[in-house]
Structure 1
């Protein structure tokens, strides 16, 4: 009895040891149970290891997405961390600007970015160059190419009067006939009728011959766009069209900011606009980091592809007729008829462009023909001021200089209306 009692007492004096379970299910008593703090540390470590990128590329799982961190390769662009906020404090999503209707009037963002002086293009201004042949139906601006050269409609110089004495000229005519000046083979182009020095003057004379009342309006508003200086500005067609897309449905300040961010994505050419090849090499997600909507990013990349493949080129834009030009460019996603007409007028410096769908032109012509514009506002609709047929009939006599006539109609309401009254 005493032996058994002592055995029980010695067993009771042994300290308790935490039990553990072996893989075969047998319990052991040599390991401590993990505390609550230890469990929390382990769960944090597991979460950190799950969010770490693998060797194949950046982690794109749901946990990484919810943290607001977007990882792209170092040679492209890095977006700073965006902290998440509770759903109740998040702002309402801003609607995609591409879903809004296109503008109907020339805006600083849509048209201002098409002017050559806004490009920051590395090619120099050609103001020191000599006068070139020009023609109302032709592209009168020199267009740049990705290689750094430029394309003009008429490569030959204007014909100069012969020099020397009258006898020398007569003897020269007996020996050979004067060489006929033939315009270069550029498709639908007509023989030149002016030079870059005289084109604006010829246009003003024609407009005043049709309606002398326009003389005061012309004197008050000098059109630099078609002046000799304006016609020497080099235009990059891809830059002009892309800038027009950037400026759609946004303010001028916003368009300039987006354009600056867009060019900064291309370190090799910044602050100049990138080439079509550079844009094609970037993915849509990278282009969107400049502030472009999904559609605008797709439009600009699609436009770049057409220039890269040769479907669009400076030579084509120089030689195409007005009808072919509009047909080919309207087929490009993101370029509506209004955008193409503005590019043809402000970018290519074509002289016979007339946009009937422009609300500002409608309003100006309605004022020009003597209508009370204030009473026409309530009508609404696309043709709230004048019908398309009425506009075409009014502008027809000013052909082939309707671009200048359209430009004046935008400014007519800033002028004393008495100049438009019939004498």
Structure 2
């Protein structure tokens, strides 16, 4: 009795003093055991403290990070490569008036400017053809796009609404009148690799300013191959070029300066020869050459199986669900190259135009055409 009375007096003495750490009598064993749960895994152990299970909160759903496909190159992404030649403004100038020249589906249709002499190389004007041979003319810069479109629609009617919504200016008579400096075009392509369009434009302007005096960019002219060769590779770096890109640009300039690459060759050679010669240049891969041949040289029968935008557009045209993208072996594929080539074969000799519309296939609903 004395011990119990002593305990009660001690508790009373502490009451109201702010002391909370009074030892509590242990709970009966049965009560403690009822709150225990058998711990069978390490994961369970995380939620148990002192033998009593914590009340778990609602498990959070794991965030599924969708791996997006690589950015697909499109005509908009290669704008710097395909800008018309201008002797002053480094970005663009008013194109010359459209002339009705001879056109060839399997050849170069752009008028090309020699980078050193600025000599123009182009197909003959129709009026320059002798009267006896005019009757044999089948393609000109004024009708070749119409012929291409008629062939595309006849081959694949699903293309009709896409063609009606998106006029293809690049192969129109106005587009085929734009004069292209192939050296400038290829150099611009190297500069724009793996950077945004804005960054590429800024780097290109700084690169051109290295070879011009004055602060007005509209008075600057694009450097010739000989001017670039006269500079050391390190002297090109201040424009914002990486060491490797500076080497690529310098190497390309040497190819033109030595005569290994010429405007005449790029104008008159077959596509296979153009591809073979340009692939030898460090910094120019197959895709870069395909885009240059298509949009720089304005060749009508170029087709790129490695372009993801073309793959995706072709898959959409074929009625595939392109939203269900799969990556096999670390490479994004919408269609196999073999299947793409088999389908594109039907669109010869206008596969460049077909490729251009593949980029826009998903922008128009073609499902109603079955």
What is the TM-score with the length of structure 2 in the denominator? 0.74
Cα-Cα RMSD: 2.5
Aligned length: 293
Deviations 1:238-266 (A, max 9, x none): 00000000000000010000000000001
Q: Distance in 2 between matches of 1:120 and 1:253?
A: 20
Secondary structure at the counterpart of residue 256 of structure 1? helix
Deviation at 1:140, TM superposition (A): 0.5
Aligned to 1:341, the other structure's residue is in SS state helix
Quick one: distance in 2 between partners of 1:356 and 1:250? 22
* 3-state SS of paired residue (1:374): coil
Q: Which residue of the other structure, out of 105, 118, 134, is the alignment partner of 2:73?
A: 105
Higher alpha-carbon deviation: 380-389 or 333-342: 380-389
Match of 1:265 in 2: 210
Matches within 5 A, 1:83-232: 105-106=73-74, 108-109=76-77, 111-117=78-84, 120-122=86-88, 127-128=96-97, 130-145=99-114, 146-152=116-122, 154-155=123-124, 157=126, 179-180=132-133, 193-232=138-177
Alignment partner of 2:293 out of 344, 358, 383: 344
* Runs of 5+ unmatched residues, structure 2: 1-69
Distance 1:361 1:257, change over 3 A: same
- Aligned with 1:394 (options 343, 357, 360): 343
1:406 is aligned to 355
> Could you tell me how far apart the structure 2 residues matched to 1:333 and 1:208 are?
39
Write out aligned runs for 1:304-383 (5 A): 304-379=253-328, 381-382=330-331
Distance (whole Å) between structure 2 residues aligned to residue 215 and residue 386 of structure 1? 22
Closer, same or farther in 2 for the Cα pair 1:362/1:192, shift >3 Å?
Answer: farther
C-alpha distance in 1, partners of 2:259/2:79? 27
> Who is 1:243 aligned against?
188
Q: Aligned-pair distance for 1:150?
A: 0.6
* Pair 1:305–1:250, CA change in 2 (3 A): same
In the TM superposition, what is the alpha-carbon distance from 1:108 to its structure 2 partner?
Answer: 4.0
| Conserved? CA contact 1:142–1:151, under 8 Å | yes
CA contact (8 A) 2:313 2:361 kept: yes
Check whether the contact 2:111–2:179 (CA below 8 A) recurs between aligned residues.
yes
| Whole-angstrom distance in 1 between the partners of 2:139 and 2:133 | 17
Distance 1:192 1:396, change over 3 A: farther
CA distance in 2, matches of 1:357, 1:351: 18
Structure 2 distance, partners of 1:332, 1:160, is 37
Q: 1:107 to 1:219 in 2, by over 3 A?
A: closer
Give ranges in structure 1 of 5+ residues lacking alignment: 1-101, 163-178, 183-190
Structure 1 residues 259 and 216 mapped into 2: Cα distance closer, same or farther (>3 Å)? same
Rounded Cα–Cα distance in structure 1 between residues aligned with 2:303 and 2:332: 15
Query: Offset of 1:121 from its aligned partner?
Result: 3.6
Superposition deviation, residue 126 in structure 1 = 5.5
Match of 1:77 in 2: none
- Take 1:127 and 1:351, find their aligned partners in 2: how far apart are those partners? 21
TM-fit CA distance, 1:291: 0.2
Go from structure 1 to structure 2 and tell me whether the alpha carbon gap of 1:272 and 1:280 turns closer, same or farther (over 3 Å shift): same
Pick which of 127-136 and 392-401 moved more. Answer: 127-136
**Higher alpha-carbon deviation: 204-213 or 295-304:** 204-213
> Alpha-carbon deviation of 1:285?
1.1
Distance 1:129 1:107, change over 3 A: closer
Q: Deviations over 1:145-186 (max 9, x none)?
A: 12122101x235357897xxxxxxxxxxxxxxxx4579xxxx
Q: Name the CA distance, whole Å, in 1 between partners of 2:260 and 2:105.
A: 25
TM-aligned CA distance change 1:340 to 1:161, over 3 Å: closer
